Amino acid sequence: MDWRGRVALVTGAGVRIGRAIALALAERGMRLIVHYHTSAGPAQEVVEQIISAGGQAIALRADLLDPSAPQRLIAQGIEAFGEVDVLINSASIFERGTVYDATLDHWERHLAINLRAPFFLCQAYAQALRPDQRGHIINIADWRALRPGTQYVAYTVSKAGLVALTKSLALALAPRVQVNAIAPGGILPPPSGPDAYFTHLPERLPLRRIGAPEEVVKAVNYLLDADFVTGEILLVTGGEHL
Ligand SMILES: NC(=O)c1ccc[n+]([C@@H]2O[C@H](COP(=O)([O-])OP(=O)(O)OC[C@H]3O[C@@H](n4cnc5c(N)ncnc54)[C@H](OP(=O)(O)O)[C@@H]3O)[C@@H](O)[C@H]2O)c1
């Protein structure tokens, strides 16, 4: 499918992996809705970079903890560009919390930002599709969704829910919309800097190196070009999941 001129909404697109995805989609000729929450300056830079390369983009702010934000974000995107064809759910929080110390607030924030918001963004997106419109949703999950762990329990459950949601929506929205997920492994260390897990990761990985946002971008581009793939969870881990 030729995505040139089509409209993509990328959540969490001001920084890091979401930013790399937004810039790559703009390079494919797509018009970009750059969602951000606190990273107003970086989001504006993404917009300016796209516009100075001859593309079209706007930045939209939304706190995805707010239950009304998904509907509003899709409506504002459609108001700006007339349609939303591709939805990439990348915004997320990732905070440590175990069965012994996770609080109600910790649990609810992870489920709200990482799972509830993607669902209601998908719902608003699907409700706004024209009968003749084709589209694609890509949810950025995590390989931890597929392997139980103890240290990030609410995060893991939220991403496991996102994987289940991906498969359910792939069925529900077919044939007009393909719905897939990418499950990255170690791509970027936390914004605070590499922790012990990241420092020793390369030696544990079959491919002996951590990834880069470009690895996720390649997976996004593959899925957008793969007309016969839906409900897939594409692992981008350097073999960590093995
Ligand atoms: N980094 C990795 O190695 C790795 C590994 C596996 C999976 N992933 C997944 O890949 C995706 C991107 O990861 P990343 O490390 O690049 O992300 P990140 O640095 O954790 O950035 C989080 C993004 O989520 C947005 N966000 C956080 N809270 C929000 C809220 N309340 N409302 C709206 N937006 C909010 C932030 O927006 P603002 O900055 O504008 O506030 C930011 O753009 C995530 O889904 C993550 O789970 C990453």
In a domain, 242, yes or no: no
Give the Cα separation of 217 and 231 in Å (integer).
18
- 197 is an active site residue: no
pLDDT mean values, one per 10 residues, the chain (242 residues): 96 98 98 98 98 98 98 98 98 97 98 99 98 97 93 97 98 98 96 85 95 98 98 98 94
Which of 37, 68, 198, when mutated, tests ligand 1's pocket best, judged by the most ligand atoms within 8 Å of its CB? 37
pTM beyond cutoff 0.75? yes
Residue 128 DSSP class? H
pLDDT number for residue 179? 99
For residue 45, report the distance from its CA to the centre of ligand 1, in Å: 17
Distance from the CA of 5 to the center of ligand 1, in angstroms?
26
pLDDT computed for residue 197 by the predictor? 84
> In the chain, how many domains are there?
1
How far is C-alpha 47 from the chain's CA centre?
18
Residue at 119 is within a domain: yes
Q: Does any ligand 1 atom lie closer than 6 A to the CB of residue 111?
A: no
Range of the domain at 51: 7-235
pLDDT at residue number 191: 86
CATH number, position 98: 3.40.50.720
- Taking residue 104's Cβ as centre, other Cβ atoms within 10 Å add up to 7
The reported pLDDT for the residue numbered 190 is 87
